[in-house]
Amino acid sequence: MQEQRELISRAARCLLAARYAIALTGAGISTESGIPDFRGPSGVWTKDPEAERRAYASYDRFVADPKGWWEDRFFGKSVLGEVASASPNAGHLALAELEQIGLLKCVITQNVDGLDEKAGTRRLIEYHGNIHKLRCMACDTRFAMEDYDMAKLLEEDMLPPKCTGCGGVVKTDGVMFGEPIPQKVALESDEETRKCDLMLICGTSAVVYPFAYLPHSARSSGKAITIVEINAEPTPLGSEGISDFLIQGKTGEVLPALVAEVKRLRK
Ligand code: OAD
């Protein structure tokens, strides 16, 4: 505990000294909102490896048969459970507060749950999209779920939905395994990574690429950068020498403590 307090204080000093700090987040930051992660002890892939294999096949199925893929959606349920009713937790709120007080410039999240937006984070890049949105596969325009009446389209045999702008096939916005990251999202994330001199990496196993390249490319750029992990368990970023240090613990506890420490040091 003493060691955790010292590391939080070290991270707070790094934040105060940083010119451009950003946060990278993963499913771990949302577990305290009741949404399971993927690879933690109670993760959806840990508990059901078959579901992970199905997830790997899903994008190919969409490309081959978007109509069938959409029809299946009416009968399947999300592996993440009831995401729509979830609320941001103290971890999401702490990141939003760090942005509000001017110490954090951007959050790049792998999460599709929309909780950072609900927490009030303004400069947000949803690297793997958003489960509540839709996206045209041809022009990348994003739509709200409510923009389309899916039940009516199913009834009228009009699936898959089509883009109102270009007529392209519309898919859910969440990026699936094997699907390219939308170009604008990838470019903006690279740009934020180039600009930052402090990266706070919260609640991710950092094993899914290309997202996991972001800390690697920050580290190999040759510039001075501090990379801090906040996670329940060690990740390859530590063993591969990418992160400077790990604050081991829950993001819903460590991040608010970090905000409190920053405010204390600022006085
Ligand atoms: P993972 O499930 O791989 O990793 C979550 C990490 O957070 C694990 O190391 C957990 O131990 C840790 N963790 C869990 N709860 C925590 C808490 N309260 N505080 C701190 N740490 C906690 O999730 P991601 O790294 O986000 O992609 O997974 C990356 C991608 O793999 C996802 O975006 C998704 C998935 O398959 C796609 O679906 C394309």
Average pLDDT over residues 197-202: 98
CB 108 within 8 A of CB 206: no
Average pLDDT, the chain: 95
pLDDT for the residue numbered 78: 73
Q: Measure the CA–CA gap between 17 and 66, rounded to whole angstroms.
A: 49
Residue 41 alpha carbon to ligand 1 centre in Å: 10
* % the chain with pLDDT above 90: 90
Per-residue pLDDT tens over the stretch 18-35: 999 999 999 999 999 999
What's the CA-to-centroid distance between 39 and ligand 1, angstroms? Answer: 6
Task: State the CATH architecture for 1-35+87-128+180-267.
Answer: 3-Layer(aba) Sandwich (3.40)
> Which pLDDT score, from 0 to 100, does residue 92 have?
98
**128 carries an active-site annotation:** yes
Helix axes 251-266, 2-17, angle to 10 degrees: 60
Ligand 1: residues whose CB is within 6 Å? 26-28, 31-32, 37-40, 43, 110, 128, 175-177, 203-205, 208, 231-233, 250-252
Choose the residue to mutate in 7, 31, 39 for probing ligand 1, maximizing ligand atoms within 8 Å of C-beta: 39
- Which of 231, 233, 237, 255 for mutating ligand 1's site (highest number of atoms within 8 Å of CB)? 231
In this structure, the residue with its CA closest to atom 25 of ligand 1 is 204
Length of the chain: 267
pLDDT in tens, 35-77: 999 999 999 999 999 999 999 999 999 999 999 999 888 777 7
Mean pLDDT of 155-160: 94
Q: Is residue 82 predicted with pLDDT exceeding 90?
A: no
Cβ atoms of 116 and 203 closer than 8 Å: no
Domain ranges of the chain: 1-35+87-128+180-267, 37-79+133-172
Q: Which residue, judged by its Cα, is nearest atom 17 of ligand 1?
A: 250
Mean pLDDT, residues 207-236 taken together: 96
The residue contributing the CA closest to ligand 1 atom 38 is 176
Q: How far is the CA of 192 from the centre of ligand 1 (A)?
A: 21
Q: Which atom of ligand 1 is nearest to the CA of 26?
A: 26
How far does residue 164's CA lie from ligand 1's centre (Å)?
34
Q: What is the DSSP string of the chain?
A: -HHHHHHHHHHHHHHHH-SSEEEEE-GGGGGGGT---SSSTT-HHHH-HHHHHHHHHHHHHHHH-HHHHHHHHTT---TT---TT----HHHHHHHHHHHTTS--EEEE---S-HHHHHT-SSEEETT--TTEEEETTT--EEEGGGS-HHHHHHTT-PSPB-TTT-PBEEESSPPTTPPPPHHHHHHHHHHHHH-SEEEEES----STTTTHHHHHHHHT-S--EEEEEESS--HHHHTT-SSEEEES-HHHHHHHHHHHHHHHH-
The model's confidence at residue 171, banded by pLDDT at 50, 70 and 90, is very high
Nearest CA to ligand 1 atom 19: 250
Q: Are strands 170-172 and 133-136 parallel, antiparallel or unpaired?
A: antiparallel
Pocket test for ligand 1, best of 8, 38, 52, 201 (most atoms within 8 A of CB): 38
- What does the pLDDT read at residue 259? 98
CA-closest residue to ligand 1 atom 12:
28
Of 2.60.40, 3.30.1600, 1.20.120, 1.10.150, which CATH number belongs to 37-79+133-172?
Answer: 3.30.1600
Residue 81: the pLDDT is 78
